[in-house]
Amino acid sequence: MRRALVLAATPGVPMVADTRRVGCVLLDDAGRTVAEGHHRGPGTPHAEAEALARAGAAARGTTAVVTLEPCHHTGRTGPCTEALVRAGVRRVVYAEADANPVAAGGRAALEAAGIEVESGLLADEAARLAEVYRVALREQRPFVTWKFAATLDGRSAAADGTSRWVSGRAARLDTHRLRALCDTMLVGTNTVAVDDPLLTVRDEDGVALDVQPLRAVMGERGLDPARRVFNDDAETVHLRTRDPHVALADLGARGRQHVLLEGGPTLAAAFLRAGLVDEIVAYVAPVLLGAGRSAVGDLGITGIDQAFRPVVADVTVLPGIDGEEPNVRLTLTPRAPSTPAPRRKD
């Protein structure tokens, strides 16, 4: 299902109100992938239909793992339920029920045809994916998730600038899961110059995934083309601006809909001050530094009454790996401060 969610988040699907982003993976009885598919936009085959077409006769007897309940209506394309039945799929597992009454009824139709059906696997992540694109459509800009790792005292790096590793291995693995659900990773020029990040998505064994998000670097500073972010592992674009509004407009024009903000404290502060952060994912490690770089820069706040107070949506303890202490993942939704911070003149 995680792979299906990655497919659903594949860049390039137009922001159209009635178009859902869906991924599908067909598995044989041994759990091996037979074929994959994802919906590419209005009028194109649905995820299930694309996967079935790629599988051909090998689809018979497979399990279809889908991020959304297969549709049971005829619109621009035919019902996915009928396509699954015709192909001889044995079992269907989907994450999220289709709330659209026009398209709903897929489960009942599949079960009536003798197909085993299970639902609810990673449903929260599937619903979150749908929310990302609803926001992107409404705001006409990419949804922005700010991700950072910090110590108990809010440091993202030590006094000497070292930051590997603030968080534990479990948190770092979870970061790659988060990256895989986004179509763009954004950092500032200083992060590229100092940290030289690779900015790719890798699995638990460190192997790069076939589908990689766009790597975006924001800032006017010139950069050494030998930095790792400019290698051939994934596409990279340099957004020569310091204005978050301009950067998101550029990325939106490129068809990008979910930006993972991974830059340093200055970039994070710029997006927060502009009111352009839709979600915060914070990994907190049981570590104290006492000095060093803060996770976020100056927000223009001078009093406690002006503080940003995000709403906590989820708290998850990530168990330690190989004897490490657990880390905590906080997922939060920002809300505006009682007194908006002034925009920087630069």
HSE value, Cβ hemisphere, 13 Å, CA-based, for 289: 24
Instruction: Check if the beta carbon of residue 268 is closer than 8 Å to that of residue 300.
Output: no
Instruction: Check if the beta carbon of residue 173 is closer than 8 Å to that of residue 206.
Output: no
Instruction: Check if the beta carbon of residue 259 is closer than 8 Å to that of residue 144.
Output: yes
What are the distances in angstroms from CA 220 to CA 181, 223, 238? 28, 9, 9
Instruction: Check if the beta carbon of residue 179 is closer than 8 Å to that of residue 185.
Output: yes
Q: What are phi and psi of 75, to 5 degrees?
A: -120, -120
Beta strands in 151-225 (DSSP E): 155-157, 184-188, 214-218
Q: Annotated catalytic residue: which of 36, 48, 262, 279?
A: 48
First to last CA, the chain: 44
Is 48 among the residues known to form the active site? Answer: yes
How many other C-beta atoms can be found within 10 angstroms of the C-beta atom of residue 245?
Answer: 13
Buried b (16+ CB within 10 A) or exposed e, 25-46: bbbeeeeeebbbbbbbeeeebb
Cα 328 to its chain centre, rounded Å, is: 19
Cβ-proximal residues to 240 (8 Å cutoff; 6+ apart), any chain: 219, 220
Q: Mind telling me the catalytic residues?
A: 48
